[in-house]
Amino acid sequence: MAIDDLTVGYVAHLARIELQPKELERLSRQLQGILDFIDKLKCADIRGVNPTSHVLAVHNIFRDDTAGLSLPAEDVLENAPQRQGDFYAVPKVIE
Amino acid sequence: MELYTLTAHELLEKIHKKEISPADVVRSLQDRIREVDPKVKAYVRADKLSCRDSIVCYPCKDEQNPQGFLKGLPISLKDNICTKGINTECCSRILEGFQPPYDATVVKKLKAAGGAIFSLKTNMDEFAFGSSCENSAFGPTRNPWDIERVPGGSSGGSAAAVAAGTAVWALGSDTGGSIRQPASFCAVVGLKPTYGRVSRNGLIAFASSLDQIGPFTKDVTDSALLMKAIAGHDPSDSTSLDAPVPDYTAALTGDIKGLKIGVPKEYFSQGLDAEVKVIIDAAVDKLRGLGAVLAEVSLPHTEYAVPVYYIVATAEASSNLARFDGVQYGLRSSQGGNLIDMYKRTRGEGFGQEAKRRILLGTFVLSHGYYDAYYLRAQKVRTLIKNDFDQVFKQFDCLVTPVSPTPAFKLGEKIEDPLKMYLSDICTISANLAGVPAISLPCGFTKAGLPVGLQIMARPFGEETIFRVAHTYEQNTDWHKRKPKL
């Protein structure tokens, strides 16, 4: 399939990545090449084949529903680019 | 004999006999790093640590009398394996300065077994996206065998460090060949274990249905030893399997008489370098000479492995990397704006080109209207690839193939052509898609002196078979004894 700058721009919005105009142009071209290659999969006969959900015969894994130890908040928040007390601080969400 | 040239099992024996202490090994490594790492650049952030500080976390207070079977030997880790309080940045700008609040399960296990953790981390392609180590935010690592060439990727730093003698051994991660391909380019032993054999808790996720942590070592015995330390079930990783961990060293019997080994014809088709083919053919003959029974087999869906991989892996990556948004850790853009602007600018500034390419591709194949045509179809073809392996493993104990269609390529040779780069994983990707274990071990050198690796794959949890074959081959050849001149 053909992918244009508009589609790549929309996908970049979905992925929350700001692209410079030059990047957008280059990435569109490269993604087109990769998608053309991937199109090879159309030749595979997948009638009646189930999609892989796990490569080994493993199903749901359960554990006891008991509380474990959590990491200390101070250790975790140490890495925050910006914090207020025990919270992550972000730009205003509601105007 | 310089200590940095010895294997881990040789060093362990010397420590056991009290001929040397782990501190002697550390000193030897530090000198070697000072001598050759400025050329090879296997380690990142090396300038930020004084040499004495470059080893931390001795398993016990008494350095002269270490506990546990790893006896205080230092282990080098890829920059995507979390180490408490020690920078772990996936060689990405977006994780700049990140110091994990906890140790990955493999790190806890290594410490429990008496291993010391090297605080210098090894270089990698950003978020393990790449096959050459050129996508690192810290710049590329060089191949110790020819510094004009790449060490392979994504775990290029771990492979180059073991080859250059700046690590006794190391851990890397393998999503589509990221342990085996660099191991083959650098003439070291690299194992991707069965999916679920080693806990991924604390491995910064790339593609969760494919990722596995595994060892880089100087020989097969070391690989078996290191696997003994890191394998096993972990309640913190629901994909890790609750199967007993065998004593892998017991599998090193040196006998492969009567073992049935398949040679998949699809791995020898077009694109395989002529010199590599001659070397692999000779390795196959060698195994036959050692008593194994070899026969050609077919894995008919092999041609779909690369396209399936670049859908499944990028889809999972786009989801896993959503967490890097400037809120919890790493970089936050200083350009301001509202919350959405902040996300977009942080990710635009923090991710490199290959990360952006993969996130966009993954987002696209999962997006409305394209999911069935790409992602769902890929997961169905993945089942066909997995079925191919199930079929051949009914009759054969293992498979042998090349690891990479070519020896190490030159820096810059493929970086502008992503598709060409992706195709360098053509022999390694299937093992990840099918979840089977696979090793790369040195099996020869080209006329130009570049290493070539032999891949051995086995059925799930067949690591012992792999070790048995690899060790027998190694005992009857001396490729693993060659060292690069640096």
Q: How many CB atoms lie within 10 A of CB B304?
A: 21
Give the Cα separation of B140 and B143 in Å (integer): 10
How much is the pLDDT for A63?
A: 81
Q: How many CA atoms lie within 13 A of B225 on its CB side?
A: 27
pLDDT at B55 over 70: no
Q: Is B337 on the interface with A (CB under 8 A)?
A: yes
Query: What is the structure's pLDDT at A92?
Result: 87
Name which of B373, B78, B18 is nearest B200 in CA terms.
B78
pLDDT beyond 80 at B118: yes
Q: What is the pLDDT of residue B424?
A: 87
Question: What is the Cα gyration radius of chain A?
Answer: 22
Q: For B466-480, write each residue's pLDDT tens digit.
A: 999 999 999 999 999
Predicted local confidence at residue B92, as pLDDT: 98
CA distances in angstroms from A9 to A13, B52, B213, listed in the order given:
6, 49, 35
What single DSSP character describes residue A53? S
Q: How far is A14 from chain B (nearest CA, A)?
A: 7
Q: Which residues contact B39 (CB under 8 A, 6 or more apart)?
A: B142, B147, B486
Give mean pLDDT, residues B105-127. Answer: 93
**Would you call B370 helix, strand, or coil by DSSP?**
coil
CB contact under 8 A, B98 and A27: no
pLDDT band at B443 (very low <50, low <70, confident <90, very high): very high
Report pLDDT digits (tens) over B91-108. Answer: 999 999 999 999 999 999
Q: Is B154 a catalytic residue?
A: yes
pLDDT: which is higher, B198 or B241: B198
In the structure, what pLDDT confidence band is assigned to residue B59 with cuts at 50, 70 and 90?
A: low
Residue A94 has a pLDDT of 78
Task: With cut-offs at 50, 70 and 90, classify the pLDDT of residue B256.
Answer: very high
- Structural tokens at position B162: 């073991």
**pLDDT tens, B265-294?**
999 987 899 999 999 999 999 999 999 999
Give yes or no: B318 in active site: no
Kindly state whether B419 is in contact with chain A, defined as any CB-CB distance less than 8 angstroms.
yes
Give chain A positions within 8 Å (CB) of B306: 37
- The ipTM assigned to this model is 0.96
8 Å CB contact of B98 and A79: yes
Question: What chain A residue is nearest to B460 in terms of C-alpha separation?
Answer: A56
- Digit-coded pLDDT (tens) for B62-86: 555 556 899 989 999 999 999 999 9
pLDDT at B51 over 60: no
pLDDT band at B46 (very low <50, low <70, confident <90, very high): confident
Out of B92, B155, B178, B440, the active site residue is B178
* Residue B53 confidence (pLDDT) above 70: no
Closest chain B residue to A75 measured between Cα atoms?
Answer: B101
Q: Give the mean model confidence (pLDDT) for residues B416-442.
A: 95
Q: Which of A69-73, B57-61, B167-171, B408-412 has the lowest mean pLDDT?
A: B57-61
How far apart (Å, rounded) are the C-alpha atoms in residues B22 and B7?
A: 13
**pLDDT tens digits along B345-356:** 999 999 999 999
Q: Confirm or reject contact between A72 and chain B (CB < 8 A).
A: yes
Closest CA to B418 of B357, B333, B479, B350: B357
**Pairwise CB contact (< 8 Å): A49 & B383:** yes
Q: Do B380 and A51 touch (CB under 8 A)?
A: yes
Those residues whose C-beta lies under 8 Å from the C-beta of residue B435, and which sit 6 or more positions away, are A55, A56, B194, B195, B196, B386, B460
Q: Which residue has the higher pLDDT, B449 or B59?
A: B449
B248 at interface of A, judged by CB pairs closer than 8 A: no
Q: Do the Cβ atoms of B418 and A30 come within 8 Å?
A: yes
Alpha helices in B243-320 (DSSP H): 274-289, 305-320
Segment (H or E) for B456: strand B451-458
How many beta-carbon contacts under 8 Å exist across A and B?
A: 163
Tokens of B151: 């060490």
DSSP B91: T
The pLDDT-based confidence of B333 (bands split at 50, 70, 90) is very high
Interface touch A79/B97, C-beta < 8 Å: yes
Q: What average pLDDT does chain B have?
A: 94
**Chain A residue numbers touching B337 (CB-CB < 8 A):** 91
pLDDT at B30: 87
